[in-house]
Amino acid sequence: MEKFTTLTGVAAPLPLVNVDTDMIVPGPFLKTIERTGLGKIIFYNMRFNEDGSEKPDFVLNQDAYRNAQLLITGDNFGCGSSREHAPWGLADFGIRCIIGPAFADIFFNNCFKNSILPIVLPQETVDQLAGDAEQGANATLTVDLEAQTITRPNGDVINFDVDEFRKYCLLNGLDDIGLTLQKDEKIAAYEKTRAAERSWLPTTS
């Protein structure tokens, strides 16, 4: 998993309430189990017309936000079904940080497992950052995970909270498999002892 340390980038304002995972990655695209390529179809029904042409009013179709790395969202972002395709698609598009007043629990957890940092802030603060984002590509936000700060275009600094364990995993690029492999030597030692003490058991390989 890619590490998350410091991110400086353009933030796209998407201040909609109750954006669910079906809006992020619609059902017809769930047949794939690949994590790549989904960036092209996130928010598909909001981004594209029936003939496949872009809807110019949608934020990610606007030149200033085509390479956005942050999203400023409304309340209860990521609600609905638990599909992990939603964070897969956002990450494939290039989104590394999502800031909003509240997230659906399962989506919130899945973000951390896919190298995306979701940040919960009071609505008033989110509104300020959305205002910054509306300035387009001329204004960037800097998110420092180690310091737990967001630096606005005007230089103001906002502090945010994050669970220490999740912070550790993001800083070190560790998903569930990576965490397990940190114990590789202990696992190997156990397997060696197990094989010697219980030779009648089948080996694991």
Percent of the chain predicted with pLDDT > 90? 76
Kindly report the average pLDDT of the chain as a whole number: 90
Average pLDDT over residues 185-200: 62
> Which has more pLDDT, 144 or 177?
144
Long-range contacts of 170-179 (CB under 8 A, 24+ apart): 170/3, 170/4, 170/112, 170/115, 170/117, 170/145, 171/3, 171/4, 171/5, 171/145, 171/146, 172/3, 173/1, 173/2, 173/3, 173/4, 173/115, 174/1, 175/1, 175/113, 176/113, 178/1
Average pLDDT over residues 172-191: 66
Pick the CATH number of 6-174 from 3.10.20.740, 3.50.30.10, 3.30.70.1560, 3.20.19.10: 3.20.19.10
CA end-to-end span of the chain, whole Å? 24
How would residue 201 be classed by pLDDT, with cut points 50, 70 and 90? low
**190 pLDDT above the threshold of 60:** no
Q: Beginning with the edge strand found earlier in the chain, give each strand of the sheet holding 141-144 in spatial order.
A: 6-9, 141-144, 149-151, 157-159
Residues pairing with 48 in the sheet? 54
Residue type (1 letter), 108? F
Summarize pLDDT for 116-168 with one digit per residue, the tens: 999 999 999 999 999 999 999 888 999 999 999 999 999 999 999 999 999 99
Check if the beta carbon of residue 47 is closer than 8 Å to that of residue 61. yes
Q: Which two three-digit tokens encode residue 23?
A: 């809006």
Summarize pLDDT for 7-40 with one digit per residue, the tens: 999 999 999 999 999 999 998 888 777 778 899 9
Check if the beta carbon of residue 173 is closer than 8 Å to that of residue 2. yes
- Would you list the domain boundaries of the chain? 6-174, 176-205
Name every residue whose Cβ is closer than 8 Å to that of residue 84 and which is 6 or more positions away in sequence: 110, 113, 114
Q: What angle do CA 37, 43, 44 make, to 5 degrees?
A: 70
Q: What is the pLDDT of residue 32?
A: 76
Beta pairing class for 97-100 and 70-73 = parallel
